[in-house]
Every structure is written in C-alpha cells, then in structure tokens.
Amino acid sequence: MPPQQASILIVDDELSVRDSLLHWFRKDGFNVATAASATLALQALEQSPYDIILLDIKMPGMDGMELQSRVHALNPKIVVIMMTAFASVDTAVRALKQGAFDYVTKPIDPDELSHLVSRALKERRLEDENSQLKETIAELSSADFVIGESPAMHKVMEMIRQVAQTNATVMIRGESGTGKELVARTIHANSARKYFPIVPINCGALPDSLLESELFGHEKGAFTGANFRRKGRLEMADGGTLFLDEIGTITSKMQVDLLRAIETNEVMRLGGSRPVHVDFRIICATNEDLEKLVAEGRFRQDLYYRINVFSIALPALRERREDIPTLARHFMGKLAMEMDKRVSDISPEANQKLMAYDWPGNVRELANAIERAMVVSRTGIIRPEDLPFAVPEAPATATPVSDSLADMEKAHIAVVLGKTRWNITQAAELLQIDRATLYNKIKRYGLQRAEGGEAEANGSKPA
C-alpha cells in the first residue's frame, strides 16, 4: 500500500503530540487526521475508515485501552499502535494481549517510528491480502458446486450441509463419473479445514507397494530407490482432508495400516522408527458393493464401520434426467469461458437428445459431450448433430393401429415413455402435459411397461 493511500488517525489529548505527528506523517504522504479524545476518535472512525491508529494510553475520560478494545470490536483489521509517556511492562502486556500491534514510549525515536509504521502498513496489507485470498478460495471452491434441482440432488446437498462442518468420516457411493470427488471437495470447502489442503489419492490407480509409500511416506533408504525422505499423502493432508478414491480396491495389509492410522491419527513412514501425529479427516469413495466385499471377507469389517460413518449415495445421471439441461448449460457456460468460444445456447432438439441418452459415464460423459459439441458447433448453438453419441432409436414399437387421433396419441405417448424409460416426470415434460394427465392417459390407453423399460402399447404392431 503506498503511503499516499494509507490513512492514520492520531489520538492524544496533548495538542503538541497531535500536531507534531500530524505534520510528520503528512510529510510522509499519509492521509492524517487527529482526535483529542476517545469519543472524538470513535466519531472519526464512524465517518471514515483508517488503516492505522496511534493511540495514547492515558487520556482523560475513556482511556486508550478502552478505546482500543472498541476499535477492535468495530474493525479488527485496523492496526493499533499504543503510545505512552510512562513505560510499564504491565500496560505493554495488557495492550498487546488486547490485540495492539505494538507499543511505543514517548518520545519516539524517529527511526523507530518510521519502521513501526512501515511494519504496520505491511501487516495491514497482509490482512487485506489474506481476506482477499480467503474470498478467492471461497469463490473457487463454490464455483463447481454440486449442481442439480432434482429431489435426489437436493437430498445430496442437504447431506453435504449436515456433514461438512463435522469431522466425521464420509463415504461417497456412486457410479463412475457421478461426481464423487466434487462432493468430497465441496464437503472440504465447506468445512473448517478449508484453508488446509484436500489431498486426493486414487487407491485403484496404484499398485499396493506404491500405494503404501504414497500414503504413509518413507524414510531415506527404506527400499531400493528411496534416496530421499518423502512425506506421505496422509502427512500432506495435515490439518485438511484426505480423499481416498476407490477405497474398495486396497489390499488387506493396507486396510490394517489405514485403520491404524485412522484410529490413532498417527502415521509411521516406511522404514521410520517413530510415528508422526497428523490431523486429517478422511473422505472415501467407491463404486463397489462394499457390503458384498465385507461378506466375502475381502474388506475388513472394522475398517468398513470406521469409514462408513456417514454415507452419501450419488444418483446416476439417468436417475435424475431433469438435471441434464441445467448441467449441460452449466458446462456450456464454463467451457465457453475457458475455450473463449461463443456458444450461447442448446437447441430444444439437442436437449431432447441429451435427455433421452442413458449416460453410462454419467456427468463426466455429459461434460465431455458438451465440450466436443462446442468444438464442432459452427452456429453458436449446440444442435443434435453436434452431439457425439447416438440415442438408440426410440422404441418405435408403437405404430398407430389407425389414423384416429386417439390411436395416434396412444402410440406417441408409448414412444415418449420408451424414450424416458418410463420416467413419468420427464415424459410429461416432453409431452408438455402435467403428470396427472399423463397417468390418466396411460390408464385410459392401457399402456404397460415392458421388460427393459420400453413402453408397450397394447394392440400396436411391432416395428
């Protein structure tokens, strides 16, 4: 902060002190104001903000100590420097305990004063930088927040809210691409640990021996090639969160070691002789049936109970098709910025194609599909032909038996129900009628769900 932009308030009941400091700091280019009493100082603070306050401890009426605590309550960012003519260790300690930046004895050495003020300015700048960075972290961590308006996602968000502020171990279940890591990051970003790292490790991607050294670290010479000491991911997550993806793949030895680390909050490096205390929170994820693994004896029951304290199940994208348009628009907007490409809309036909597809790769696949569509799109609008997948021909098993309006309607409803795998909400949306009407029509036309989810219109000819 250049001095020209910094402001100083001098509070002292002695006119000569106020005047001499006023002139001194003005020559340094500061915006300076003075106040002859604590009451006047508080009035000045209400009118404009100050970066630094130089404050006399002994004043008639409200003294400097009292004023300091009021200033601190008003704005803890203001750097307060206490001045006194009568140095005493007691007052100095009291002032510093109350949050004063420093304490000087009058008269002040000119050199001490200029150092003090430049240190105070640095402190103030760091405070500002710190709060800006915190805001940036908050923005960054919320930028990719879990998106979705479906009841299933509302439930997930509610669970994230419930568990984020606690220290509980969380298990996230869901198919590949449903956003398990994003949920883990969201929990971390909303927890008190957010200013410490979230350290992810994909247990399934590493062979057992490597995973052990990755997780626990190793001492120099612990094994051939271990030429240097190395911190493990558990230690790197100190103060923060360790995200263990594909937890179901770890071997029984690793399960024992991990359980011990979780229970004792201590980590022993490979080849190490003494444990290191680490403060971490664990979030696990898996797309495997852990209960089955436990029943088969391939996953330790005690570890299972340890990590399965709070479980969040993420729905597959096909189970929340109503979120597809919102998600697609979100990715379009995000990628448009990243790619600096003007793609501003998704055509209704493309949206229908997106909603009809099954998304085995879930949200990740959707994001990739939108990215590809944006690359190939020439019109600024994503059209069905830009999308890189083919929706299996809708079960066009319903050719109307006659040209009557009723038969046409029955056949069309059957096609739409087939497309949406009998998701009534979606089908009603596509048909632009409400759900109750759709139910009535299904009942009236005797439509039934066939095996595999296709609609079967009684009396219709097979295609």
Nearest Cα to 115, choosing from 104, 126, 129? 104
Q: Does 163 bind other proteins (CB under 8 A)?
A: no
Smallest distance, Å, CB 93 to other proteins?
A: 23
Q: Please report how close the Cβ of residue 16 comes to other proteins at its closest, in angstroms.
A: 4
Using the rule CB under 8 A, which residue among 36, 108, 391, 394 binds other proteins?
A: 108
CA angle in degrees (0–180, nearest 5) for 286-355-391: 95
- By CB under 8 A, the count of residues binding other proteins is 22
Piece in contact with other proteins (CB under 8 A), picked from 107-115, 264-272, 355-363, 455-463: 107-115
Of the pair 15, 93, the CB lying nearest other proteins is at 15
Q: Which stretch binds other proteins (CB under 8 A): 102-110, 149-157, 177-185, 374-382?
A: 102-110
d(CA 224, CA 279): 30
Judged by CB under 8 A, the residue of 28, 123, 319, 409 near other proteins is: 28
Q: Does 6 bind other proteins (CB under 8 A)?
A: no
Is residue 19 near other proteins by the rule CB under 8 A? yes
Of the two residues 28 and 219, which places its CB atom closer to other proteins in the complex? Answer: 28
CA atoms of 236 and 255, how far apart (whole Å): 20
Options 69-77, 104-112, 195-203, 416-424: segment touching other proteins (CB under 8 A) = 104-112
Given 9, 41, 57, 113, the residue binding other proteins (CB under 8 A):
113
CB of residue 45 to other proteins, shortest distance in Å: 21
CA atoms within 13 A on the CB side of 424: 13
Helix ranges, 377-404 (H):
none
DSSP codes of every residue in 255-311: HHHHHHHHHH-EE--BT-SS-EE---EEEEEESS-HHHHHHTTSS-HHHHHHH-SEE
- Specify the residue, 14 or 322, whose C-beta has the smaller distance to other proteins: 14
CA angle 290/293/298 to nearest 5° reads 130
**Whole-number Å distance between alpha carbons of 441 and 432:** 13
Q: How far is the CB of 52 from other proteins (least distance, A)?
A: 15
Contact call for residues 375 and 437 (beta carbons, < 8 A): no
Q: Which among 15-23, 180-188, 310-318, 375-383 is the span making contact with other proteins, rule CB under 8 A?
A: 15-23
- Chain centroid to CA 61: 49
Q: Distance (Å, rounded) from C-alpha 80 to C-alpha 100?
A: 5
Of residues 68-87, those binding other proteins (CB under 8 A): 83
In terms of C-beta distances under 8 Å and separation of at least 24 residues, what long-range contacts does 139-148 make, across chains too?
141/185, 141/186, 141/188, 141/189, 141/190, 141/194, 142/189, 144/182, 144/185, 145/186, 146/179, 146/182, 146/183, 146/186, 147/323, 147/326, 147/327, 147/330, 148/320, 148/323, 148/326, 148/327
- C-beta closer to other proteins: residue 16 or 432: 16
66 binds other proteins (CB under 8 A): no
Does 106 bind other proteins (CB under 8 A)? Our answer is yes
Beta bridge partners of 242: 199, 282
Residue 382 near other proteins by CB under 8 A: no
- Closer to other proteins by Cβ: residue 3 or 275: 3
Out of 46, 111, 139, 403, the only residue in the binding site for other proteins (CB under 8 A) is 111
Nearer to other proteins, 16 or 224 (CB): 16
What are the phi and psi torsion angles at 211 (to 5°)?
-60, -40
7 binds other proteins (CB under 8 A): no
* 125 near other proteins, judged by CB under 8 A: no
Q: Tell whether omega for the bond before 151 is within 30 degrees of 0, i.e. cis.
A: no
Give the interface segment with other proteins, choosing from 21-29, 179-187, 261-269, 425-433 (CB under 8 A). Answer: 21-29
Q: Which residues bind other proteins (CB under 8 A)?
A: 3, 14, 16-17, 19-21, 23-24, 26-29, 83, 106-111, 113-114
